[in-house]
């Protein structure tokens, strides 16, 4: 598809350049394009007797006009310029009519439609090593959207967000908040796993951020809960992040956002679970969850 589009752009640029050149020539007095003549055959040298015959007088082939009335008029130049404009428009319309119908995808209104548009995503090199693209899962209109940084090995194998031990712990956290599956949506900033596991690179985040923005637009959650410092850094790259940022309300795309610890870190350091629960209690209070 990219090759088709680049060819069209090149042809459009060439058509525009040609039209501009022809308009310039018409301004200089050109009304027709000279036809390139085929090379003339070399004449055989005349016989000695023929050389004595007088040559007829011939007017120069490119003699100057006899009077100013033969020079191109301003009206003629204007007509040529108008024809050049029509030519350029005709080329542009022809190229537009040949453009593939799906060149401009429609704005997705559901998560399923957005996932279909994403297709077999090849936007960054992460696609080379992934097993599954981990798009997201949950309610179409959730009260809370939980966002991690990038899929783990378990998520890559299953294609589902927060699979494995991290998912089990997150499930217990949701139960403690008295949330049902119809009230949450789970996803991540970057949709493909890196090998080995690491934080997502800025270019990977840049490629995936529009997808997350579309997910948020479709979901319209009341609150976003960011899980982990890597996810927060990806969503707020222009802000200086410190350990104190956890538990403080922020905003993302106009939606209130609460950063807290990632379940992976909570499994490694169980002593942090109390602080994470305090963060989630703020979310519960804001949503009037009892």
Between 32 and 116, name the one with better pLDDT. Answer: 116
Question: What percent of the chain clears pLDDT 90, i.e. is strictly above it?
Answer: 52
* Domain ranges, ordered by start, for the chain: 1-31+74-103, 111-287
pTM of the model: 0.64
Tokens 């009037």 sit on residue: 288
Q: What pLDDT was estimated at residue 242?
A: 74
What gap in Å lies between CA 270 and CA 278, rounded to an integer? Answer: 14
Residues 253, 136: Cα–Cα separation, whole Å: 18
Residue 1's pLDDT is 43
**Phi, psi at 157, each rounded to 5°:** -70, -40
- Give bridge partners of residue 138 from the DSSP assignment: 185
Mean pLDDT of 44-57: 49
pLDDT at 195: 85
DSSP 158-173: HSSTT-HHHHHHHHHH
Kind plus residue range of the DSSP H or E element containing 135: none
How does DSSP assign 74-93, residue by residue?
Answer: HHHHHHHHHHHHHHHHHHHH
- Res 58 pLDDT > 50: no
Report pLDDT for 90: 61
* Residue count (the chain): 290
DSSP 226-289: EESHHHHHHH-TTS---GGGTT--EEETTEEEEEE--HHHHHH-GGGHHHHHHHHHHHHHHHT-
What's 111-287's CATH class? alpha beta
pLDDT reported for residue 181: 87
Whether the predicted pLDDT of 32 surpasses 70? no
What does the alpha-carbon distance between residue 179 and residue 173 come to, in Å, rounded to a whole number? 9
- Kindly tell me if the per-residue pLDDT of 123 is higher than 50: yes
Residue 50 reports pLDDT greater than 50: no
Between 70 and 87, the more confident residue is 87
Question: What mean pLDDT is reported for the chain?
Answer: 78
**Average pLDDT over every residue of 122-149:** 94
Higher pLDDT, 207 or 244: 207
Distance separating the N- and C-terminal Cα atoms of the chain? 52
**For position 120, what pLDDT does the model report?**
92
Question: In the structure, what pLDDT confidence band is assigned to residue 89 with cuts at 50, 70 and 90?
Answer: low
8 Å CB contact between 197 and 126: no
- Give me the pLDDT at residue 244, please: 75
Q: Which of residues 247 and 67 earns the better pLDDT score?
A: 247
Mean pLDDT of 262-284: 95
3-class DSSP assignment, residue 186: strand
pLDDT grade, residue 95 (50/70/90)? very low
Binned at pLDDT 50, 70 and 90, residue 68 comes out as very low
Burial pattern 84-106, b for ≥16 Cβ within 10 A else e, equals: beeebeebbeeeeeeeeeeeeee
Predicted pLDDT of residue 191: 95
How many Cβ atoms are within 10 Å of 51's Cβ, its own excluded? Answer: 9
Q: What pLDDT does residue 255 have?
A: 95
pLDDT of residue 16: 60
At 160, the pLDDT band (50, 70, 90 cuts) reads very high
Spatial distance between the Cα atoms of 220 and 110, rounded to a whole number of angstroms: 11
């Amino acid at each position: 598809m990219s090759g088709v589009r680049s060819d069209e752009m090149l042809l459009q640029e060439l058509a525009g350049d040609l039209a501009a050149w022809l308009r310039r020539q018409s301004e200089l007095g050109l009304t027709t394009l000279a036809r390139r003549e085929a090379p003339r055959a070399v004449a055989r040298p005349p016989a000695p007797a023929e050389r004595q015959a007088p040559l007829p007088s011939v007017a120069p082939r490119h003699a100057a006009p006899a009077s100013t009335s033969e020079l191109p008029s301003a009206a003629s130049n204007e007509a040529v310029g108008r024809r050049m404009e029509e030519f350029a428009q005709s080329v542009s319309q022809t190229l537009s009519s040949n453009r593939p119908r799906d060149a401009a995808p429609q704005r997705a209104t559901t998560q399923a439609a957005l996932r279909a548009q994403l297709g077999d995503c090849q936007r960054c090199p992460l696609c080379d090593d992934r097993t599954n693209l981990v798009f997201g899962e949950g309610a179409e209109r959730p009260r809370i959207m939980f966002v991690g940084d990038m899929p783990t090995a378990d998520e890559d194998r299953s294609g589902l967000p927060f699979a494995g031990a991290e998912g089990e712990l997150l499930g217990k956290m949701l139960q403690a908040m008295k949330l049902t599956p119809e009230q949450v949506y789970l996803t991540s900033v970057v949709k493909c796993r890196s090998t080995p596991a690491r934080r997502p690179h800025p270019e990977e985040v840049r490629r995936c951020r529009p997808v997350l923005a579309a997910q948020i637009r479709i979901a319209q959650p009341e609150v976003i809960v960011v899980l982990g410092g890597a996810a927060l850094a990806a969503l707020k790259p222009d802000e200086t992040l410190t350990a104190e940022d956890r538990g403080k309300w922020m905003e993302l795309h106009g939606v209130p956002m609460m950063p807290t610890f990632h379940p992976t870190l909570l499994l490694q350091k169980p002593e942090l679970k109390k602080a994470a629960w305090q963060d989630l209690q703020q979310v519960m209070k804001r949503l009037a969850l009892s």
